[in-house]
Amino acid sequence: MLKSTQDIHRIDINNRETQGAALQPCPKNLNRDLILLMASAGDSFYNILHLDELARMDTSIHRVHPLAKLLVTVAFLVAVSSFGRYDISGLLTFFFYPVTIFVLSEIPAASILKRLLLISPLIVGMGILNPLFERQTFILGGVVLSTGWITFLSILIKGALTVTAALLLVATTGMDRLARALRMLGVPRIFVLQLLLTYRYISVLTEEVARMQRAYALRAPGQRGVHTRAWGSFAGQLILRSFDRAQRVWQAMRARGFTGDYNIGEDTRFKFRDFAYLSGWIFFFAVARIFDVPGFIGSIMTWLAKH
């Protein structure tokens, strides 16, 4: 949905030429079409930028050096994905990491979980057939179940953990600083630049799509989406427009002395705090990976109950 009247104003400015082309828009359809359009392309545009906005908050997690956060995230991904397919209890300890980051960074959980939901069909798709294909069984509460259910659950947990960790990294660091961290790790400039420009141009592209959709809908009231007959010219137009726009952005960058290195001008020294953050988490991941923490806590509980 459209966020505010200011956004409507902005669209008005951007689309003077396209709206001028609408000769006889029907007010009722127009309204509905506009709402539909905002919900699609326009919305995804604002969504993408939303993570960047979260990254500008100022909390203890946001202040940690981007390189430390990147390395911790990589360590987390490696640790989580290294678990065996039947090992679920060990994975549970790793929920401690995203929960801690959520709390300390004050990132609204909904904004991350919404994106996790977007990816969830992919994760479910990977494991949904496991219960059918695995032939071993186990008994739970008198019901015989395929061990596939365990591996399916393990895939779900691993997927949720890794995607959340990656999203949290972007939301607490921001693309610019993340790119800086990649450069510090020695990732070649060309790849980092590719990543950054792709990220920037996604919004350029979706904005262009939104404009074209709007212009189309205004002259095709009563139609849902874009008719298949127009797909070819629609896509062609989009490519040409994006080329032009991308070239102008590129020229604007070059005119201000851009030579290929993205400089965000922040203090890049690795402080003791960053080192403590990095080593603390890696120590935690190592312990959680090697020892069965939930099992250990469980046995302490039972021992306490007995004595």
Partner 1 sequence: MSHHRLEARDLSFSYPDGHEAIKNISFCIHHGESVGIIGANGAGKSTLLMLLTGLLFPGSGEVLVGDVRVTKKTLPMIRQRLGMVFQDPDDQLFMTTVYDDVAFGPRNYGLDEKEVGERVMKALDMVGIPHLKDRAPYKLSGGEKRAASIATVLSMQPDILIMDEPTAGLDPKSRRKVIELLKSFEHTKIIASHDLDMVLETCKRVMVIRDGQVAADGEALKLLTDAKLLDSCGLELPLSVQGCPVCSNHIG
> Residue by residue, what is the 3-state secondary structure of 240-307?
HHHHHHHHHHHHHHHHCCCCCCCCCCCCCCCCHHHHHHHHHHHHHHHHHHHCCHHHHHHHHHHHHHHC
Residue nearer to partner 1 on the CB measure, 14 or 120:
14
Q: Using CB under 8 A, which of the segments 13-21, 115-123, 211-219, 294-302 binds partner 1?
A: 13-21
Exactly one of 255, 304, 306, 307 binds partner 1 (CB under 8 A); that residue is 255
**Residue 53 in contact with partner 1, rule: CB under 8 A:** yes
Provide the minimum distance between the beta carbon of 223 and partner 1 in the complex, in angstroms, as a whole number: 28
Residue 110 within binding range of partner 1, rule CB under 8 A: no
Task: Please check whether residue 147 is in contact with residue 136, taking contact to mean a CB–CB distance below 8 angstroms.
Answer: yes
Does the protein bind partner 1 through residue 266 (CB under 8 A)? yes
154 half-sphere exposure, CB direction, 13 A CA radius: 19
Phi, psi angle pair for 144, to nearest 5°: -85, 125
- Structure-token pair, residue 107: 């990132």
Give the three-state DSSP class for 29. helix
Chain positions 201 to 240 lying near partner 1, rule: CB under 8 A, are 203
Among 231, 258, 283, 291, binds partner 1 (CB under 8 A): 258
Quick one: which of 256, 269, 306, 307 contacts partner 1 (CB under 8 A)? 256
- For partner 1, the closer of residues 13 and 144 by Cβ is 13
- Backbone phi and psi for residue 47, each to the nearest 5 degrees, phi listed first: -60, -45
265 is an interface residue for partner 1 by CB under 8 A:
yes
Distance, in Å, from the CA atom of 186 to the CA atom of 130, rounded to the nearest integer, reads 40
Contact (CB, 8 A) for 54 and 171: yes
- Which residues have CB under 8 Å from 215's CB, separation 6+? 15, 18, 19, 21, 22
- Between 82 and 198, name the residue whose CB sits nearer to partner 1: 198
> According to CB under 8 A, which one of 257, 272, 305, 307 is a site residue for partner 1?
257
Q: Which stretch binds partner 1 (CB under 8 A): 51-59, 133-141, 152-160, 229-237?
A: 51-59
Q: Which residues in 126-165 contact partner 1 (CB under 8 A)? A: none
If we measure between CA atoms, which residue out of 231, 248, 238, 250 comes closest to residue 208? 238
What are the residues binding partner 1 (CB under 8 A)? 6, 9-10, 13-14, 16, 49, 52-53, 55-56, 174, 176, 200, 203, 245, 248-249, 251-259, 261, 263-267
